[in-house]
């Protein structure tokens, strides 16, 4: 059942309970008020009955006194008594509320009338006529006395009965008061039970499911995306949990997808690397007196855009290619390889380095906008050490000699995007000289203080490590780069070294 309906029912139950108890309390309170009123009325009646008795008694005394003395003064109590009796009787008739009591009052009244007729009036008449002796006899005589005794008895009965009723009314009042007390305790008890039940139900329907949901959400936030979120509870909260679970599912899905993409990049990197190594056949037989070596270190998490090649041409020259294509990714990596292959083919066939670059420009031209690369291409005649080279917007290659270093700078702009056309320049490598070509990923490596490795440091390094083993120079340089920036490379770094020994 829906939570809102449950809460509504709970609310209705509480309100109904309050209404019922309220109605009950109202009834019992009215009962108490009635009982109280009756008890009061009866105690007033009781007091009136006592005064009625006195009223009649005064009458009787007055009559007797007048009868025996003939003095008018004695009639006063009689007349007063009559008046009082009449008033009291009238009052009692109004306040005595049971059949029995009213009947008894009736009988008292009748007895009173009888006595007046049979006893009081005749005696007064005798007394008036001065026949006191006869009056005295009449007083002592049975009829009047019997009549008055009957009156007295009936008065006594009335009094007793009234007392009994008054006591009963008192007991009734006590009973009702008890009832009221019990009722109040019941209300209090039910209120407590109701509150406890409400608290319990709300805890079960609302608090616990929400806490469970919070825990589940927190668990997901902590990274546990695989377990579904489910809670037991009313439909609204279950629906909420369901929605949160859908969200979890979506987050997980997106994470899996991005993980897949990342793996794809790694795999394409592997593909490119495999391609690269597949496309690197033997360097070939290098003439004596020369050593060559090269290495490429890719930047973190990307497919390298650098590429290099070292091989022996059909003319027995050593060819050296370093390419730096802008951008990273499988497309750029493969394009770099294709450019390298184009250059290789051209150089193999004996083309001048500058002309070989034209073929590369054509290839890039087909690729459309925003693809460009820089390249250093050199062909070294191992017989005389003559170097023919072309540099397309690439950082200058260095020739490191005993007496200094010279730069082999650009012989044309970068390839692609700009007007093609590269000239071929020349230099000589003497025995003991080293030739080093590299990409800007090497010189632009930064250390922890954001300082560049720089060309000067590279030159110093090359001068310091100048020898006849190209591999040693390459290793030394890369070790220094590693030391300089232990945290890795921002861009691919390539270095290729050629040494002439003899």
Partner 1 sequence: MAELELESRPSSDATIVVVRGEIDMATAPQVRDVLNQLVDAGAARIVLDCRGLDFLDSSGIGVLIAVSKRLGDDGKLRIEAPQAHVRKVLELTGVIDHVEIAP
Which residues would be at the binding site for partner 1 (CB under 8 A)? 324, 326-328, 369-370, 372, 374, 393-396, 409-410, 412-414, 417-418, 440, 444, 490-491
DSSP assignment of 430-481 equals: -TT-EEEEE-HHHHT-B-TTS-B--HHHHHHHHHHH-SS-HHHHHHHHHHHH
Nearest to 204 by CA among 236, 234, 244: 234
CB nearer to partner 1: give 139 or 377.
377
The SS3 of residue 325 is strand
Least distance to partner 1, CB of residue 422, Å: 10
DSSP strand pairing (425-428 vs 373-380): unpaired
Least distance to partner 1, CB of residue 444, Å: 6
Least distance to partner 1, CB of residue 286, Å: 30
Nearest to 408 by CA among 470, 322, 304, 493: 322
CB nearer to partner 1: give 165 or 491.
491
DSSP assignment of 264-300 equals: HHHHHHHHHHHHHHHT------PPTTEEEEEEEEPPT
Cβ-contact 406, 399 below 8 angstroms: yes
CB nearer to partner 1: give 341 or 444.
444
CB nearer to partner 1: give 34 or 444.
444
Least distance to partner 1, CB of residue 336, Å: 12
Indicate the burial class of 375 (C-beta count within 10 angstroms; 0-12, 13-18, 19 or more).
buried
Look up residue 303 and give its DSSP letter. -
Cβ-contact 388, 407 below 8 angstroms: no
Integer Cα distance of 321 and 437 in angstroms: 9
Least distance to partner 1, CB of residue 302, Å: 9
CA distances from 228 to 241, 252, 287 (A): 10, 11, 68
Least distance to partner 1, CB of residue 290, Å: 28
CB nearer to partner 1: give 109 or 374.
374
Q: Which residues contact 77 (CB under 8 A, 6 or more apart)?
A: 58, 59, 61, 62, 65
Cβ-contact 3, 236 below 8 angstroms: yes
CB nearer to partner 1: give 381 or 444.
444
Q: What are the strands of the beta sheet with 434-438, ordered from one edge?
A: 290-297, 493-500, 434-438, 397-401, 404-408
Look up residue 207 and give its DSSP letter. I
Least distance to partner 1, CB of residue 306, Å: 11
Least distance to partner 1, CB of residue 326, Å: 4
CB nearer to partner 1: give 24 or 413.
413
CB nearer to partner 1: give 119 or 393.
393
CB nearer to partner 1: give 217 or 265.
265
Least distance to partner 1, CB of residue 334, Å: 18
Least distance to partner 1, CB of residue 391, Å: 9
Residue 210 tokens, joined:
């929400």
Sign of CA dihedral 437, 307, 344, 282: positive
Q: Which residues contact 394 (CB under 8 A, 6 or more apart)?
A: 322, 324, 374, 375, 376, 410, 414, 437, 439
Integer Cα distance of 498 and 471 in angstroms: 9
CB nearer to partner 1: give 421 or 431.
421
Least distance to partner 1, CB of residue 402, Å: 27
CB nearer to partner 1: give 49 or 399.
399
CA distances from 36 to 41, 46, 56, 96, 180 (A): 9, 15, 30, 15, 13
CB nearer to partner 1: give 242 or 396.
396
CB nearer to partner 1: give 94 or 419.
419
Indicate the burial class of 63 (C-beta count within 10 angstroms; 0-12, 13-18, 19 or more).
buried
Least distance to partner 1, CB of residue 452, Å: 9
Least distance to partner 1, CB of residue 410, Å: 6
The SS3 of residue 322 is strand
Region label for 23, one of left (φ > 0), alpha (ψ between -120 and 50) or beta (otherwise): alpha
């Amino acid at each position: 059942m829906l939570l809102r309906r449950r809460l509504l029912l709970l609310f209705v139950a509480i309100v109904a309970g309050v209404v019922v108890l309220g109605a009950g309390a109202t009834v019992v309170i009215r009962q108490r008020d009635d009982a109280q009123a009756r008890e009061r009325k009866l105690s007033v009646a009781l007091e009136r009955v006592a005064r009625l008795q006195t009223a009649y008694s005064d009458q009787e005394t007055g009559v007797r006194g007048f009868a025996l003395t003939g003095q008018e003064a004695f009639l006063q109590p009689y007349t007063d008594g009559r008046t009082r009796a009449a008033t009291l009787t009238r009052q009692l008739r109004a306040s005595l509320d049971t059949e029995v009591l009213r009947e008894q009052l009736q009988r008292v009244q009748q007895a009173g009338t009888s006595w007046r007729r049979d006893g009081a009036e005749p005696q007064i008449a005798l007394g008036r006529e001065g026949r006191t002796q006869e009056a005295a006899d009449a007083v002592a005589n049975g009829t009047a006395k019997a009549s008055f005794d009957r009156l007295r008895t009936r008065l006594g009965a009335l009094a007793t009965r009234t007392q009994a009723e008054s006591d009963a009314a008192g007991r009734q009042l006590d009973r009702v008061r008890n009832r009221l007390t019990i009722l109040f305790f019941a209300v209090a008890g039910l209120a407590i039970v109701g509150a406890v039940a409400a608290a319990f139900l709300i805890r079960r329907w609302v608090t616990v499911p929400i806490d469970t949901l919070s825990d589940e959400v927190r668990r997901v936030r902590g990274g546990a995306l695989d377990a579904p979120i489910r809670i037991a509870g009313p439909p609204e909260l279950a629906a909420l949990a369901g929605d949160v679970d859908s969200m979890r599912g979506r987050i997980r899905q997106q994470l899996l997808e991005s993980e897949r993409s990342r793996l794809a990049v790694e795999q394409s990197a592997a593909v490119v690397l495999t391609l690269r190594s597949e496309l690197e056949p033997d360097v070939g037989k290098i003439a004596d007196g020369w050593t060559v070596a090269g290495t490429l270190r890719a930047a973190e998490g990307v497919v390298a855009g650098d590429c290099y090649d070292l091989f022996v041409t059909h003319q027995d020259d050593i060819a050296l290619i370093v390419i730096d294509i802008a951008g990273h990714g499988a497309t750029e990596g493969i394009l770099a390889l294709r450019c390298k292959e184009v250059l290789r083919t051209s150089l193999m066939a004996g083309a001048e380095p500058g002309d070989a670059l034209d073929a590369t420009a054509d290839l890039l031209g087909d690729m459309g906008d925003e693809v460009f690369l820089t390249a250093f291409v050199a062909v070294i005649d191992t017989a005389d050490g003559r170097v023919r080279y072309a540099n397309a917007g690439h950082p200058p290659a260095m020739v490191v000699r005993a007496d200094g270093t010279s730069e082999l700078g650009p012989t044309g702009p970068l390839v692609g995007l700009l007007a093609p056309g590269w000239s071929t320049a020349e230099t000589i490598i003497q025995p003991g000289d080293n030739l080093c070509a590299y990409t800007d990923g090497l010189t632009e490596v930064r250390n922890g203080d954001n300082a560049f490795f720089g060309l000067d440091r590279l030159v110093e390094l090359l001068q310091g490590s100048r020898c006849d083993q190209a591999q040693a120079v390459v290793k030394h340089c890369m070790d220094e780069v590693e030391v300089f920036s232990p945290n890795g490379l921002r861009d691919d770094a390539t270095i290729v070294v050629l040494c002439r020994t003899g």
